[in-house]
Amino acid sequence: MLKFTPILLAILYALAMYQFSSWRTKRELDARSTELADPRLKKLTDRMAEALGVERIRVHLYEVDVVNGLAAPDGRIFLTRGFFEKYRRGEVSAEELASVIAHELGHVALGHSRRRMIDFSGQNAIRVALATVLGRLVPGLGIWVANMLTTLLAARLSRQDEYEADAYASALLVKSGIGTAPQKSLFAKLETLTGMRGAGMPAWLMSHPKTQERIAAIEALEARWTRELPRE
């Protein structure tokens, strides 16, 4: 029984971390966000709402300076103040910002937001369990190996989610009559907007796929849709 104690403790730790992370995220977003009201953007979200068969799409403005969009575990969609200010200064178009909203809607519709919170907690549990076991086998290196393995796993799962949300957004934008051009043009400028400019970790450790790979995936979808269109 004792040999399974680290694993059981890791599972309990994961459950506790999930509950705590959900509570902390909700409290932070509630305290620092308000519903976004922008006439140009609302016209586009109304078109997406009609395509989805829902009354409206609510978007919230999260008061942080980074450039990002996010989907909360409870299904709410957020744009950061930093992203919205780029839009107000004309660096991002309303259609490009709508493509971000469509992407985040994809995360919600596909269950990524809640799953990511669970995955995060589970990965922490795996990290603890691996560090405990490997620490006995490879003293001094066990924690490093455990951290590397869980980081690789998290990055791979996250990149898969991004591709899926991109595909959902592309389909929604096309159905709404907005098209994928704003989605692709935003990707082309995203590294400049966020200040990354290609710097940082290599692609296989990044939580998001490379820009060109995301654009290529969208264009592959478009080519497939074109082939599947019924001919006159």
**Which pair of structure tokens corresponds to residue 190?**
């995203």
- Residue-wise pLDDT tens digits, 94-133: 999 999 999 999 999 998 766 555 455 555 555 555 555 5
- Strand residues in the chain grouped as ranges (E): 33-35, 59-62, 69-71, 77-80
Residue 210 has a pLDDT of 83
- Residue-wise pLDDT tens digits, 173-199: 999 999 999 999 999 898 788 775 544
- Residue-wise pLDDT tens digits, 44-74: 999 999 999 999 999 999 999 999 999 988 8
**Residue 112 in contact with residue 78, Cβ under 8 Å?**
no
Residue 37 has a pLDDT of 92
Amino acid at the residue 181: A
- Tell the residue number behind the tokens 């008061």, with chain if given: 63
What CA–CA distance (Å, rounded) separates 169 from 161? 12
Q: pLDDT over 90 for what percent of the chain?
A: 47
Residue 136, CB-side half-sphere exposure with 13 Å CA sphere: 7
Residues shown for the chain: 232
What CA–CA distance (Å, rounded) separates 217 from 185? 14
**Residue 209 in contact with residue 159, Cβ under 8 Å?**
yes
Tell me which residue of 214, 21, 229 sits closest to 103, measured CA to CA. Answer: 214
Residue 91 has a pLDDT of 95
What CA–CA distance (Å, rounded) separates 169 from 43? 17
Q: pLDDT over 70 for what percent of the chain?
A: 64
User: Would you call 211 exposed, middle or buried from its count of C-beta atoms within 10 A (0-12, 13-18, 19+)?
Assistant: middle
- Ordered DSSP codes for 161-186: HHHHHHHHHHHHHHHTT--SHHHHHH
Residue 154 — very low, low, confident or very high, per pLDDT cuts 50/70/90? low
**Residue 26 in contact with residue 76, Cβ under 8 Å?**
no
Residue 156 has a pLDDT of 58
**Which pair of structure tokens corresponds to residue 92?**
């991002």
Tell me what the pLDDT averaged over the chain comes to: 79
- Tell me the whole-structure pTM to 2 decimals: 0.75
